[in-house]
A and B are shown apart, each in its own frame.
Chain A
Amino acid sequence: KAGVTQTPRYLIKTRGQQVTLSCSPISGHRSVSWYQQTPGQGLQFLFEYFSETQRNKGNFPGRFSGRQFSNSRSEMNVSTLELGDSALYLCASSITGGGGNSPLHFGNGTRLTVT
């Protein structure tokens, strides 16, 4: 079974621009979560989508948004990029049903650099 696929692997953007990251979960997984990983802050939860609905949201500004499609694929968008948005963005899928607490399966991430 194919793992979680994230595209692109690397992105370089300029301050003020916007960016869209894509994630394809493991087949059969309906939950997709997004995390921001930085050396100083570790793994920070952005949001989780399940059946096309945002089910959980972390403490990030409204510039960070996402969506999930009917095939469970998910996209994350960051608008008005700031230098501090430079990070590795990890997507994780899980097989959870209505509740939570299922293992996360991470993709390789998208490395975003904002200049």
Chain B
Amino acid sequence: GENVEQHPSTLSVQEGDSAVIKCTYSDSASNYFPWYKQELGKRPQLIIDIRSNVGEKKDQRIAVTLNKTAKHFSLHITETQPEDSAVYFCAASEGNYGQNFVFGPGTRLSVLP
């Protein structure tokens, strides 16, 4: 089955700096890769996603890149702000048999003022 690894497990950056979180997946059939942000005590919320027919997607300060050959995808946050502090989860899914997402273990991002 699918296995998703995520690095780093914790990340501290200064406000205004960039943050990069990387995930690798094992199943070459996976074709959908969402990223979720979970603030303390709150629900995970989708922040950006990418499908396998696209190499990069950007939404304001957030971007995701996908390398299908190497089976990894990364989240890039630029100009970080204190409200970006949260746990970020990547996930992978092949979708042929419904909704079956495998999540990475999460990255705790701290943005220091």
Contact = CB atoms under 8 A, between A and B. Distances in A.
Nearest to A101: B95
A99 B95 contact: yes
Contact of B98 (A35, A50, A103, A108): A50
A109 B43 contact: yes
Interface of B: 31-32, 34, 36, 42-46, 49, 51, 89, 91, 93-106
Given A50-B99, A99-B95, 5 more contacts: A33-B101, A43-B103, A100-B97, A101-B31, A104-B44
B99 A96 contact: yes
A56 interface: yes
A90 B44 contact: yes
Contacts of A43: 44, 89, 91, 103, 106
B109 to A, nearest CB: 15
Given A43-B44, A90-B43, A108-B43, A100 B89 contact: no
A93 to B, nearest CB: 9
Give chain A's interface secondary structure class. Answer: strand
Residue from A99, A101, A102 having most chain B Cβ neighbours under 10 A: A101
25 contacts: A31-B98, A33-B99, A42-B89, A42-B106, A45-B102, A50-B99, A55-B97, A56-B98, A56-B99, A56-B100, A94-B99, A99-B95, A100-B32, A100-B94, A100-B95, A100-B96, A100-B100, A101-B94, A103-B46, A104-B99, A105-B46, A107-B43, A108-B42, A108-B43, A109-B43
B85 to A, nearest CB: 18
Contacts of A90: 43-44
A48 B98 contact: yes
